[in-house]
Amino acid sequence: MRSPLRGTPIRAHPLMLLFPLAMAALGAGGDIAALAAALAVHESFHLAAARLLRVGVRQLRLMPFGGAIDMENPYVLSPGQQLGVAAAGPFGNLAALVSAAALAHWGVLPPRTAVALVRSNLVLMLFNLLPALPLDGGRMLAALLSHRLGRDRAAGLGIALGRILAAALLALAVWAWIVRGKLNLSLVLCAVFILAAAPEERRALSNLEIETMLNALTPPGGPIPARICAVSAGCPARVALRAADPRALTLYAVYDGGRFSGFTDDRRLLEAALARSPNAPVAAADPRRSPLAQANTA
């Protein structure tokens, strides 16, 4: 059976470098191996579910108390695909902790090893089930509420709950520092991770319309209808793309300062909008110069 991790690029978040220090500061340095095993199970189940549901995966990012698979825009996926991929990670941890407990009961695993594995999988599962983005619980909540609230409002609720959770974690860390005189770095790292992920969620949501149109474009493999529009080089891509039709190729004659500067098309314009911003100017699509444009500038 092929490993779900095989062929998937893996990138560690910078905060992962501080995580062993946090574990050691908490006196749990010996649990790092168990937590790494739980994390491997968690992400393997995510990747297996993504492949089963035919969701494209670009890379795996490892972060404190979990990881994230960089897949195609999650807001382009159906709610069922979002729910299935998100639920797979916590389910994998549940299966792992039950298996560790059973193996200890049968005398296959030493009790101490089993306890470490059960604790690590339980903590990872419960933390990721919290209903806040970008955690799995937040992804599941957004998928379940998308039919009733719409994707924008459901995702906005998940992001808001994430910020509330991050504030609560920071407050808990400060309280423990004041009362016990010891800073819980794991709580701080988790809060920073949640806050840092909010802009990425917003960006994915803002790119939803553009990615949906890009996926719907008819590949120019044969004769297809074509349309041509004139547009200024400084016009935002989002505005210019309103003239595009997924059933036909749309060419844009780009004018800069009143002079014709070249042609671009809907696909190049969509890709430029995704790479930069939906409000990036049409000139960001690098219009291809024509002999007519060269004659105008000569």
Ranges of H-type helices in 106-184: 111-128, 136-149, 151-180
Catalytic residue at 43? Answer: yes
Taking each helix axis as running N to C, give the angle between helix 111-128 and helix 32-52, from 0 to 180 degrees, rounded to the nearest 10. 50
- Burial status of residue 193 (CB atoms within 10 A of its CB: 0-12, 13-18, 19 or more): buried
Beta bridge partners of 288: 263
Exactly one of 43, 72, 209, 211 is catalytic; name it: 43
| DSSP structure class, residue 260 | E
What residues have CB less than 8 Å from 65, skipping those under 6 apart?
123, 124, 127, 128, 186, 189, 190, 193
Q: Cα 39 to chain center, whole Å?
A: 17
Return phi, psi of residue 48, to 5°.
-65, -40
Active-site residue numbers? 43
